[in-house]
Amino acid sequence: MPRKCAFANAAILLFLLVTTFYLLLPFLSSFDFSGERQVESFDFKATTVEEACLRSNVHSIDPIPRVVHVIWLNNTDLNFMSYLTIRSALIAIQPDRVNLHYTDINEQNEWFMRVRDNLTLVPHDLETEYGQQIRDKWQIPHIADLLRLDVIAKEGGIYLDMDVIALQSFDSLLGCEKDLMLGNEGGDRHGLCNAVIVGRRGSSFIKHWRESYDNFATNEWNYHSVILPKEMSSLYHEEICTVSPSVFYWPTWTKKHIRYMHKPITQSEAQEFQDTVVANGGGMYPDQLAYHAWSQVASTYLKDLSLKKVVSHNTRFNVLVRRFID
Ligand SMILES: *[C@@H]1O[C@H](CO)[C@@H](O)[C@H](O)[C@H]1NC(C)=O
Ligand SMILES: *[C@@H]1O[C@H](CO)[C@@H](O)[C@H](O)[C@H]1NC(C)=O
């Protein structure tokens, strides 16, 4: 029966093809040059260490001050995103002070005027403080990486990058027995990002970290700001507390995650999202204290943001930040 046989052969061939395809699938899908898939895979479970870190509020006699620090260097004009960062810090964290570390500021700028009364201005002179780095041709973002460490080492408090939205009170972190707290970046926990730093004055971890910048090559920026602190965290584990990726840095900077935050959603999706955020006390997830907007990667979306659009267009980002607009 040649016809039947041919049919059987075709069926076997098809079976083999399908099986091979499925066997290869894991390898095909990990064929991902940027590593975005590993960064995105996360089970939303904090490790025991992370869990303990988040609940380690021991009513320390020397709490981390409820002072927020933000940095704005070599740029006279605050923008809408920095306004959102400052407003969210004021409302969600209820700090004793928000210190704006700056070099030069346009006091007539619209966003500055809206938050002026709630800021403590801390002027810096980069030539005096970071003359060596400037002579070594460091760029402003790299100097800002150092300044945040110096500010926390000197005063303690909560440092926020000007694209971080604070979502809930940070009070549960301020009694931490270790002197520094950082958040894991990525579901694969590949790094400890420096966009949010919660620390006590004199933190010894910061001292080690600061020293690493002594032999800083400007092409190693991401290494010194994200990967190195992760490596150092196992070496100096008694000096640092690390929290789960969802506390400060979820969703991540991958294309898919950025789109998730900024693509248009329907009225009913917006309502559902809003209900979840309210149920979580301000976060998209129960333990989320902040959202990092990854301004470098998300600039196509962020540059088009405006106060009007946040109010009138439904995206997850807009719904999340709406309550911070005055
Ligand atoms: C600060 O900005 C000015 C002009 O915007 C630029 O010429 C200067 O090089 C910048 N300073 C540093 C240290 O990058
Ligand atoms: C900002 O400061 C003003 C004047 O002191 C005060 O009335 C207001 O409550 C403050 N706003 C926030 C959000 O803290």
Distance of CA 137 to the CA centre of its chain: 27
Contact 85, 162 (CB under 8 A): yes
- Domains in the chain, please, with CATH? 48-248 (3.90.550.20), 255-324 (no CATH)
Strands 290-292 and 164-166: antiparallel
pLDDT tens column, 226-268: 999 999 999 999 999 999 999 999 999 999 999 999 999 999 9
pLDDT in the model for residue 34: 61
Using DSSP's 3-state secondary structure scheme, residue 12 falls into helix
> Is the CB of 73 within 6 Å of ligand 1?
no
- Can you spell out the DSSP letters for 58-102? ---SSPPP-EEEEEE-S-S---HHHHHHHHHIIIII--SEEEEEE
- Nearest CA among 40, 89, 5, 38 for reference residue 257: 40
Integer angstrom CA distances of residue 177 from 63, 208, 309: 9, 19, 42
Q: At residue 213, does pLDDT exceed 50?
A: yes
Ligand 1, atom 10, residue with closest C-alpha: 74
Task: Report the atom number in ligand 2 closest to the C-alpha of 91.
Answer: 13
Average pLDDT (117-126) is 98
| CA angle (291, 296, 297) in 5-degree steps | 80
> CB under 6 Å to ligand 2: residues?
90-91, 117-118
Higher pLDDT, 170 or 54: 170
Name the residue of 71, 72, 73, 74 to mutate for ligand 1: max ligand atoms within 8 A of Cβ.
74
Is 134 touching ligand 1 by the criterion CB < 6 Å?
Answer: yes
Mutate to test the pocket of ligand 2, among 67, 118, 324 (most ligand atoms within 8 A of CB): 118
Q: How confident is the model at residue 8 (pLDDT cuts 50, 70, 90)?
A: low
CA angle 229, 232, 236 (to 5 degrees): 125
Distances (CA, A) of 28 to 24, 33, 189: 6, 11, 23
Which of 14-23, 153-162, 214-223, 281-290 is the least confident region?
14-23
**Is pLDDT larger for residue 30 or for residue 320?**
320
Q: How far apart, in whole angstroms, are the C-alpha atoms of residue 89 and residue 86?
A: 5
Q: Which ligand has the nearest atom to the CA of 129?
A: 1
Two tokens, residue 225? 């700001």
* C-alpha 102 to ligand 1 mean position (Å): 14
Q: Are strands 290-292 and 241-243 parallel, antiparallel or unpaired?
A: unpaired
Q: How many residues does the chain have?
A: 326
**CA angle (259 as vertex; 256, 262 as ends), nearest 5:** 160
Would you state the pLDDT for residue 215? 77
- Mean pLDDT calculated for residue range 98-121: 98
Q: What's the rounded mean pLDDT across residues 155-182?
A: 96
Lowest mean pLDDT among 8-22, 116-130, 300-314: 8-22
Instruction: Please determine, for residue 27, whether its predicted confidence score (pLDDT) is greater than 50.
Output: no
CA 285 to centroid of chain Cα atoms:
15
The predicted pLDDT at position 61 comes to 82
- Closest C-alpha residue for ligand 2 atom 14: 90
The answer to whether residue 45 scores a pLDDT higher than 80 is: yes
Judged by average pLDDT, the poorest of 10-24, 54-68, 101-115 is: 10-24
The ligand 1 atom nearest the CA atom of 143 = 13
For residue 74, the ligand 1 atom closest to its alpha carbon is 1
Please, which pLDDT band fits residue 165 given cuts at 50, 70 and 90?
very high
Q: How many angstroms is it from 284 CA to the middle of ligand 2?
A: 26
For the chain, the C-alpha Rg in angstroms (whole number) is: 23
Q: Report how far ligand 2's centroid is from the alpha carbon of 321 (Å).
A: 18
